[in-house]
Amino acid sequence: MDYVFQFGVVAENLPLLLRGVRTTCILTGLAIVLGTALGVLCAYLQAAGWRVVRTVVRGYVEFIRNTPFLIQIFFIAFSVPDLVFTGGQLLGTRLVLRIEPMTAAVIGMTISLGGYATEIVRGGIDAVSRGQIEAGRALGLSGMRIFRLIVLPQAVRIAYPSLASQYVLLMLGSSVVSAIAVEELTGLMNTLRSTTFRDFEFVFAVTLLYLAMSLAFRAALAGVYWIAFLRGRPAEAAAR
């Protein structure tokens, strides 16, 4: 039996798909802000912390880089509440922790991005000239002020292209959170597929939406880079 394409059903449900796009963008935006902050903090601790702290941070990074994102999400959404409940029973109390799907998704995406951002920012920190750090010390600046005023701005500028690529991958990887019932773009697509039985149409439409989001996201990140680092530096911009 020949398959008859019916894209009209996609048009009818386009507002629902766009709601999924909005949810995906919200998840990604929150995770970028929180995950980048976490990555910068961990990179600083790796550079200036005690050996025990550096070991803990290194263990966190290796855990994130060597375990599937889906398993990390499952652990946060399902295993952590079970651990809290079990711990409460051992202590003779009834502790119940409920993590909403959206909250679990933001936490998972933040922790995942933080692990990768740590290594990216640390690479940027290592690329900063040691002479500038010594100059800051000669001026009597504290270690925190040297990091904040001298090292971090240059490290972020060096690491930004790699961070931007990681942000796009994070946005695309957010489709995984549909597995814990988050109604982002992929989650809504699966719901529509199961209720309309129009698999090809919705998969094709959502593929185009992800492509459009990726291109728009890359353009926005390139604009941020130009505004933050290249505007007012025409000679350097031309060299690039």
Gyration radius of the chain over CA positions: 22
Average pLDDT over residues 157-173: 95
Mind giving me the DSSP string for 155-203? Answer: HHHHHHHHHHHHHHHHHHHGGGGGGGT--SHHHHHHHHHHHH--HHHHH
For the ranges 80-89, 189-198, 212-221, the lowest mean pLDDT is seen at 80-89
The predicted-structure confidence for 133-163, as pLDDT tens digits, reads as follows 888 888 888 878 888 888 888 999 999 999 9
Average pLDDT over residues 174-179: 95
Reported confidence tier of residue 238, pLDDT bands at 50, 70, 90: very low
List domains and CATH numbers for the chain: 8-239 (1.10.3720.10)
pLDDT at 206: 96
Reported confidence tier of residue 237, pLDDT bands at 50, 70, 90: very low
Q: What is the mean pLDDT of the chain?
A: 90
Which token pair is 101? 């799907």
Residue 224 CA from chain centroid, whole number: 17
Closest CA to 196 of 1, 12, 2: 12
Reported confidence tier of residue 169, pLDDT bands at 50, 70, 90: very high
Whether this prediction's pTM lies above 0.75 is answered by yes
Is a pLDDT exceeding 60 seen at residue 236? no
Is a pLDDT exceeding 90 seen at residue 129? no
Given a contact cutoff of 8 angstroms between Cβ atoms, the answer to whether 24 and 173 are in contact is no
C-alpha span between 121 and 153 (Å, rounded): 11
Reported confidence tier of residue 1, pLDDT bands at 50, 70, 90: low
Average pLDDT over residues 178-184: 93
* N- to C-terminal Cα separation, the chain: 56
Average pLDDT over residues 104-127: 95
Give 69's contacts (C-beta < 8 A, 6+ positions apart): 108, 112, 173, 176
Is a pLDDT exceeding 80 seen at residue 3? no
Given a contact cutoff of 8 angstroms between Cβ atoms, the answer to whether 170 and 113 are in contact is yes
